[in-house]
Amino acid sequence: MSDGEITPVDTTGNPIDTTGTGNPADTSSNTPCDPNLVYFQTQVLPILQSNCALSGCHDDQSAQDGVVLSSYAKVMSTADVEPGDLSESKLYKVLVDDDPEDRMPQTPRQPLAANQIELISKWIQQGAKDLTCEEGNSGGNGNGCATDNRSFSSHIAPILQTHCITCHSGPLPSGGYDFTVYSGVKKAVDNNRLVGAIQWQQGFTAMPYGSAAKIPDCAINQIKAWVDAGAPNN
C-alpha cells in the first residue's frame, strides 16, 4: 500500500465496493462456475426462453396472464417466484401440476424434462439469485468457452436437452429430428440443419423455434466445434 492510500472501511457492516462495478458482491468477471450452484443466465433462462418465452405464451409481447419469462427481472416480477420456497413459487408449481389443463408448457408442447424441472427447483431453493460465472476456463477459444474435445454425452447432449428436446422428442419430433438420441442429432448434422439453425443463419428456421433469443454463444460454439470434429458419438 502506498503512502496516503486509504483502506475502505464501513462501520455499518455493509460490503465495500472494491470491484469498480458498483456492486460490492459482483465477482462475475472472473468467477469460475461452481458445479453445485445454479446460474440463472446460462442454465435457467435458456430453459425458459426455449419453452416458455415464446410468441403466444410468455414473451414480452404476448405476456399471457401477465407473466413474462424473457429475463431475470421479469421472471422475478411476474412469475410469482418465492426464493427458497417451492410451495409458494407458482413458476415451479405449474411445471409439476398433474392437471394437463394447468401444467406448463401446455399441450401440444411436451412437459419439461425431469432434469430441467430439477434445475429450476434447485435454483429457487438456492434463493433464486441472478448468479453469473465464467464458463469453461480452459481448452477453449480464448473467450472463456471451452470447445476442445467436446463429447456428445458430456457436453452436446446436455445442451440439446436444455434447449431443444421439448420439441425434438416424443413419437412425432419436430422436423423428424429426435434429439434425445445420438442418431437423431446425427441426422440433423448430416442434413446440414443443426448449426445453421442454432446460429440463425439466413435460409434456416431459427432454433429454438419461436424463441426471442438464440441459445448462448458458448453452447453454439461447442456444438459447432463438435460438428467440425465429425460429430462423434463419444
36-52: pLDDT as tens digits: 999 998 889 888 988 88
Contacts of 81 (CB under 8 A, 6+ apart): 75, 89, 90, 91, 92, 124, 128
Spatial contact of 202 and 46, defined as CB atoms under 8 Å apart: no
Residue-wise pLDDT tens digits, 125-181: 999 999 887 765 433 343 468 899 999 999 999 899 888 887 898 888 899 999 999
Question: What value does the mean pLDDT of the chain take?
Answer: 83
pTM beyond 0.85: no
Task: Work out the number of other CB atoms within 10 angstroms of the CB of residue 122.
Answer: 15
